[in-house]
Amino acid sequence: MPSNIISLIIKQLKLKPVINTFEGYAFENRQHLNLRQLSQRFAETKLFLNLRTSILRINPNIYMLNFTQNENQRMIAQMIRDFGAKEISPFRKDWDDRQFFPIDLFKKLGELGLMGVLIPTEYGGSGFGYNEYVTAIVELSKLDPSVGLSMAAHNSLCCGHIMAFGSEEQKKKYLPKLATCEWLGAWGLTEPNTGSDSGNMRTVAKKEGEYWIINGAKNFITHGVSGDVAVVIARTGEIGDSHGMTAFIVERGTAGFEGGRKEDKLGMRASETAEMIFTDCKIHESQVIGEVGNGFIQSMKVLDGGRISIAALGQGIAEGALEASIQYSKERHQFNKPISSFQGISFKLADMATQVEASSLLIFKAADLKNRGEKVTLAGAQAKYFSSEVAVSVSNEAVQIFGGYGFTKDYPVEKFYRDSKLCTIGEGTSEIQKMVIAREILK
């Protein structure tokens, strides 16, 4: 592309092409950071993204993927590490043992701006993009994947659905309180007899005057009991009709809406998973999100973005397991030398590191496409599928490297191993991701 065209675009945007939006910020003050305080600086990065999009429109063959973290991401990562060392790491084993959902922790994450990472600043959020969002999930998941899962479900599903399809009144009412986690979000699509086959859901909503009456049940819902606000998909038309489902906002405390049984899970035990039950639940028509009949289509688009967050969750697990394995292999001695010196171990680490790196590239490609407002169905499915399988593979090898100690709860890798399996199931199984990928590439 001629340099004068780039210069013209820069001049029109009145922007120097600088990505580092934190230049001059005292790094030693990072303990006082929260994302909302940084969002003003991020406005410059948003302008840079606008510049990049303008360049790509002139020449779409140019792909401008940056392979290094920007300063926003580095600062967010450090903030989470500092916070997690005090607020997560000392308690994660107890939470896991008791299957305890630490709701107060998420209130603190809300204060940091992490429960509204993608929500625009005008609605009280941090106003960041998907690169920063992915970084936040990865870092939280390295500390405790359960925390990363709950944070991601709140942001991508509940907040994401309202942000993408809600009315201006709904956004103003719900997003500010969701962004601070004054209200915790839930999202109800899955049902006991319709896991991957969500088009055949049995939860129904019938219109009575200006109200809708919802009856049915959802299961495997993150924050199904503790959630203050739930986006719920219910059937309003014929079974099997993709235009026969509608999305509703249902608040906790609404008559006829209650949380059901909590699941006793293999992993992700500090993230609440439960039923939501609706018995003649009466809500006003103003709680409909978008058009009646568009709930299923909305949900599929929400899941496109949500799969990037689950990919990031898997990435955090894989990175955490890899880092623990590298450290342990250097410290553990057998036959008078560190086990990292044995080819059987070092080759495992080489494979693990390569898988982790490849997974990261797929995820940030999908995040980059999402930032640019492009379709992410294929890239999101590829990232989610690959990252999930890598999380399982790497955490499995980590347990092997730790040997007998890896089979105990005194070391973190057994938890990574248990937690990783959810990534291949939640928000679309690996098999569903393959179906999506095949469908997209065969069009």
Convert the pLDDT of each residue in 365-390 to its tens digit: 999 999 999 999 999 999 999 999 99
Q: How far apart are CA 320 and CA 418, in angstroms?
A: 13
Q: Which H or E run contains 141?
A: helix 130-143
Tell me if 314 sits within 8 A of 420, measured CB to CB.
Answer: yes
Residue 243 burial (CB count, 10 A) = 15
Say yes or no to pLDDT of 3 above 80: no
The length of the chain in residues reads: 443
Tens of pLDDT, residue by residue over 171-185, are 999 999 999 999 999
Phi-psi map region of 44: left, alpha, beta (phi>0 left; psi -120 to 50 alpha): alpha
Tell me what pLDDT residue 299 has: 96
Q: How far apart are CA 69 and CA 44, in angstroms?
A: 16
37 or 132, higher pLDDT: 132
Tell me what pLDDT residue 8 has: 44
29 or 280, higher pLDDT: 280
Q: How far apart are CA 429 and CA 84, in angstroms?
A: 29
Kindly list the distances between the CA atom of residue 337 and the CA atoms of 333, 341, 346, in Å, as whole numbers in the listed order: 5, 7, 13
Report the range of poorest mean pLDDT among 23-27, 29-33, 169-173. 23-27
Tens of pLDDT, residue by residue over 62-111, are 555 667 888 899 999 999 999 999 999 999 999 999 999 999 999 999 99
**Percentages of the chain per state (helix, strand, coil), in multiples of 5:** 55, 15, 30
Tell me what pLDDT residue 42 has: 57
Residue 188's pLDDT band, with cuts at 50, 70 and 90, is very high
Tell me what pLDDT residue 13 has: 44
DSSP string, 352-412: HHHHHHHHHHHHHHHHHHHHTT---HHHHHHHHHHHHHHHHHHHHHHHHHHGGGGGSTTST
Select from 423, 430, 402, 426 the least CA-distant residue to 414.
402
Tell me what pLDDT residue 40 has: 58
Query: CB burial class (10 A; 0-12, 13-18, 19+) of residue 344?
Result: exposed
Tell me what pLDDT residue 69 has: 85
Q: Which residues are catalytic?
A: 427
Report the range of poorest mean pLDDT among 64-68, 148-152, 251-255, 279-283. 64-68
Mean pLDDT, rounded, for 255-265: 98
Say yes or no to pLDDT of 9 above 50: no
Tokens of 403: 């040997």
Say yes or no to pLDDT of 235 above 70: yes
263 or 53, higher pLDDT: 263
Residue 242's pLDDT band, with cuts at 50, 70 and 90, is confident
Residue 175 burial (CB count, 10 A) = 23
Q: How far apart are CA 381 and CA 437, in angstroms?
A: 6
Residue 51's pLDDT band, with cuts at 50, 70 and 90, is low
Q: Which H or E run contains 279?
A: strand 273-284
Residue 30's pLDDT band, with cuts at 50, 70 and 90, is very low
pTM above 0.85, yes or no: yes
Say yes or no to pLDDT of 1 above 90: no
Residue 59's pLDDT band, with cuts at 50, 70 and 90, is low
Residue 443 burial (CB count, 10 A) = 6
**Nearest 5°: phi and psi at 349?**
-65, -40
Select from 319, 310, 260 the least CA-distant residue to 425.
310
Tell me if 364 sits within 8 A of 405, measured CB to CB.
Answer: no
Tell me if 126 sits within 8 A of 174, measured CB to CB.
Answer: no
Instruction: Please tell me what DSSP assigns to residue 405.
Output: G
**What are residue 129's DSSP bridge partners?**
none
The domains located in the chain, with CATH, are 3-183 (1.10.540.10), 186-293 (2.40.110.10), 300-441 (1.20.140.10)
Q: Is residue 84 helix, strand or coil?
A: helix
Select from 173, 308, 262, 243 the least CA-distant residue to 233.
243
Tokens of 69: 């973290």
Beta pairing class for 273-284 and 257-262: antiparallel
Tens of pLDDT, residue by residue over 330-374, are 999 999 999 999 999 999 999 999 999 999 999 999 999 999 999
